[in-house]
A and B are shown apart, each in its own frame.
Chain A
Amino acid sequence: MKNTGDAVGSFFLFLLGIGAVHGAIRLKVGSPTEPQPGFFPFLGGLSLIVLSTIIFFKGRIGQGQEKIAFGEVGRPALLLVVMIALVAVLDNVGYVIGTFIASGLILRILNVRSWRTLILTSLCLSIGTYVLFDKLLGIDLPVGILVRLGL
């Protein structure tokens, strides 16, 4: 049984290997007596090309692992969208507001129906972690628009 997962995975690894070898050559590989910055990446890239080729052919002749079984991909995809949005706005809106909204959305994705639970949990998490990490442990978290409130 041919394994498309292995084929796709090995193809990406193969491309990465090609890219690494190309980048290493541009950096200069040098020789064993005088290794240059590209020497080690060249070896790594070459290994990746060889190994990805083996994975590809093992997958083609049916020696690869079982087919990839994805479950319900909707929820992981939505979580990713929320996280990407959080990354985009974190500096501007700040940690507390950003994580409050993100936590609410994540809880909603995870089928939390009660608005009270959702808002209270999000509020406790964003403010609680801000106080713990920023105020008590001294990790500077972005204040964002709350800076106007003098926080």
Chain B
Amino acid sequence: MPSCKAPEILRNEAYLNVRCNDEGRGKRSRWAFFSSLSGDRMDFLVNLFQGFSIALSPWNLVFAAIGAVIGTAIGVLPGLGPPATVALLLPVTYKMDPASATIMLAGIFYGAMYGGSTTSILLNIPGEAASVVTCLDGYKMARQGRAGPALGISAIGSFIAGTISVFGMSLVAPSLASFALKFGPPEYFSLVLLGLIMAVYLSEESIIKGLAMVALGLLLGTVGIDPVHGATRFTFGVSRLLDGFDFVVVAMGLFGISEVLINLEAPEIRDIFKTSFKGLLPTKEDWRRCWAPVLRGSFLGFFIGVLPGGGAIISSFVSYAVEKRVSKHPEQFGKGAIEGVAAPESANNAASTSSFIPLLTLGIPGNATIAMIFVALMIHGIRPGPLLLQEHPNLFWGVIASMYIGNIMLLALNLPLIGVWVRLLKVPYHFLAVVVVIICVIGAYSVKNAVFDVGTMVAFGVMGYLMRKGGFPPAPLILAMILGPILERSLQQSLISSGGDPSLFVEKPISAALLCVAAFLMLTPILKRLLKRKTLTGSAG
């Protein structure tokens, strides 16, 4: 096997090692693959019940509730997103059980999707980027005295979508994890590359700027000791940099501090629309109009969330566009159509849940929040990827089961307590800003008990501020920084095993397919522009 000629340090990598140990890998992956394909329902149910036994333990219930509450709160409060919150809370999880930590952090992510709609509907300010599109019809509904049904359908739709997505995840994830065991270094290289390109492609910013951020992230990921040769790279004699930049420190700077700096620029204006929250439950007519958009949003969100780079934001926009297209009354969209609230809110919740699939099965974080959960798992010595299901089944199934419970908790938290969440909006931003800054300082310091890391965080905060101002998206940078070492190792190992021949990447069918998709995504904007030019020339002629 040529790949086994790789240096020892490369062979020590657990998931890359899978390629070397072909016989063992083949047996294990075949067994897992066929058992999952044969639809062993008993196994699925046993695993799920095992997951529930973990998720229903008193402490895990508490952590799921804490995650759901914090998630809803940060979703409600504009100016602090889930990536920053998860990064801020990482130090709290250091001494926790890995499953409990992941359950809490996951709760924050999908909880934020529930809470984000509140500010969109009542203030016309999205608490979350994924709730931007909810403003269009949600705020109009509130103006028409229908804030209650808008908030109600948003919470109920999110619950239905979240539950469908968790169910889909429990069915799809094990099969995908088994399939991923077939992946060797070339496949991993292509997958990571595709993930990074998709993250750029699906972001709302300029593709070229996103790619530049990926390149910068990859370079920042090389700082420290080279894992293959042991050489020090770009440390400039600073011993603190031998371990490289810590992801937590960088994320706190890019998402936490920069967010505060941006918010400090503008004076705080929060005009809460005063309305009655009576009649939160949608009427029969509302239900007749909403059941199909909720289901369509759920399935769309689920599939978009599974894509590396896909996620809650893009799914909400896509589902809104789809609903507008299939609606018999598209003219009502933007004027208070309840479908315009139901579909995107369902989609963003479904996507936030299904975006855990690439993380738990392939070890590829698809967005910035999931990247932070990836870091949390790494801190606990757990490498997300295809072997996670076999090595840590309790964590895998425990997290999935906790999502079922978390969705019920969120429904219970959001509908009856809507008045409380609205009151939270009255907390002045300066208190929130000081708390964020202080927690960032603690978080950065706690990584290595070093003030150097606090300084690094401040530097990345300034960088994040300037990046946002210039339209350079920070999410691809952090994703590239995290995935860079995996990309580098798989590239080097692939090249060593093929004797330096890059055709290996297109000879392997899975790798070739992944690269084709990546190339297609890269060429799409150019093709679009060419087509547009051709159409314009044609019409002018």
Contact B442 A71 (CB under 8 A): no
**Inter-chain contact A37/B446, CB cutoff 8 Å:** no
Number of chain A residues whose Cβ lies closer than 8 Å to a Cβ of chain B: 70
Say yes or no: B266 contacts A9, CB within 8 Å: no
Contact status A139-B458, CB under 8 Å:
no
Given the complex, which residues of B lie within 8 Å of A111, measured CB to CB? 430
* Contact string against A for B residues 441-467, beta-carbon threshold 8 Å, 1 for contact and 0 otherwise: 110011001010011001001100110
Distance in angstroms between the alpha carbons of A40 and B234 in the assembled complex: 13
- A51-B212 contact, Cβ under 8 Å, with A110-B430, A137-B95: yes
Residues of A within 8 A of B533 (CB): none
Q: Does A44 touch B at the CB level, under 8 Å?
A: yes
- B434 lies within 8 A of A79 (CB): no
Question: Please, which residues of chain A bring their CB within 8 A of the CB of B492?
Answer: 35, 39-40
Cα distance, A71 to B268, chains bound together (Å): 12
- Chain A residues contacting B466 (CB-CB under 8 Å) are 9
Chain B residues whose CB sits within 8 angstroms of the CB of A141 once the complex forms: 442, 445-446
Which residues from chain A contact B29 at a C-beta distance below 8 Å? none
Q: CB distance B469 to A48 under 8 Å?
A: no
Chain A neighbourhood of B261, CB < 8 A: 76, 79-80
Choose among B212, B222, B442, B470 the residue that contacts A5 (Cβ–Cβ < 8 A): B470
Query: Do the beta carbons of A90 and B454 come within 8 Å of each other?
Result: yes
**B206 interface contact, C-beta 8 A:** yes
User: Which residues of chain A in 95-151 are interfacial with respect to chain B, using CB atoms and an 8 Å cutoff?
Assistant: 95, 99, 102-103, 106-107, 109-112, 121-122, 125-126, 129, 133, 137-142
Contacts of B325 in A (CB 8 A): none
CB contact between A9 and one of B215, B449, B470 (< 8 Å): that residue: B470
Bound Cα distance A103, B265 (Å): 18
Chain B residues lying within 8 Å of A112, measured Cβ to Cβ, are: 430
**CB–CB A137/B216 < 8 A:** no
Task: Flag if A20 contacts B219 (CB, 8 Å).
Answer: yes
How far, in Å, is A29 (CB) from chain B's closest CB? 12
Residues of A bordering B, CB below 8 Å: 5-6, 8-10, 13, 16-17, 20, 23, 27, 31-41, 44-45, 47-48, 51-52, 54-55, 58, 64-65, 68, 70-73, 75-76, 79-80, 83-84, 86-87, 90-91, 95, 99, 102-103, 106-107, 109-112, 121-122, 125-126, 129, 133, 137-142
Q: How large is the interface on B (under 10, 10 to 19, 20 to 34, 35 or more residues)?
A: 35 or more
Tell whether, in the assembled complex, residue A139 and residue B91 are in contact, meaning their CB atoms are under 8 Å apart: yes
Give the secondary structure class of A's interface.
helix
Q: Does chain A have a CB within 8 A of B172?
A: no
8 Å CB contact of B499 from A17, A33, A44, A48: A33
A128–B228 alpha-carbon span in the complex (Å)? 44
Which residues of A are found within 8 Å of B206, using beta-carbon distances?
55, 64-65
Beta-carbon contact of B216 and A13 below 8 Å: yes
Whether B470 contacts A32 by the Cβ 8 Å rule is no
Asked if B491 is an interface residue, CB under 8 A from chain A, the answer is yes
Taking the closest CB of chain B, its distance from the CB of A51, in whole angstroms, is: 4
- Picked from B260, B429, B433, B500, the residue with its CB within 8 Å of the CB of A33 is B500
Q: What residues on A are CB-neighbors of B491 within 8 Å?
A: 35, 40
Q: How close is A122's CB to chain B, nearest CB, in angstroms?
A: 8
In the A-B complex, the 5 residue pairs with the smallest Cβ-Cβ separation, listed nearest first, are: A71-B265, A33-B500, A32-B500, A110-B430, A37-B231
Contact of A55 among B209, B429, B500 (CB under 8 A): B209
- Closest beta carbon of chain B to A142's beta carbon, Å: 7
Besides the known contacts A10-B212, A51-B208, A86-B441, 6 further A-B residue pairs in the complex with CB atoms under 8 A apart: A5-B471, A17-B215, A40-B218, A44-B222, A68-B470, A110-B430
Q: Which residues of B contact A76 (CB under 8 A)?
A: 261-262, 264-265, 465
Q: Please determine whether B264 and A133 come into contact, CB atoms closer than 8 angstroms.
A: no
Would A129 and B266 be within 8 Å (CB), given that A33-B499, A37-B229, A137-B91 are in contact?
no
B32 is an interface residue with CB less than 8 A from chain A: no
Q: Could you tell me which residues of chain B, from 264 to 281, have a CB within 8 Å of some CB in chain A? A: 264-267
* B266 surroundings in chain A (CB, below 8 A): 71-72
B176 interfacial by beta-carbon distance below 8 Å: no
Give Cα distance in the complex from A7 to B18, angstroms: 46
B218 touches A138 (CB 8 A): no
| List of B residues within 8 angstroms of A51 by Cβ | 208, 211-212, 215
| Nearest chain B residue, comparing its CB with the CB of A40 | B488
Q: Are A133 and B208 in contact (CB under 8 A)?
A: no
B233 within 8 A of A: yes
Report the nearest A residue to B229, measured CB to CB.
A37
Contact A37 B226 (CB under 8 A): yes
Asked whether B435 is an interface residue with its Cβ less than 8 Å from the other chain, the reply is yes
* A44-B433 contact given A35-B496, A36-B229, CB 8 Å threshold: no
Closest to A47 in B: B215
Q: How far is the CA of A106 from the CA of B257 in the complex (A)?
A: 13
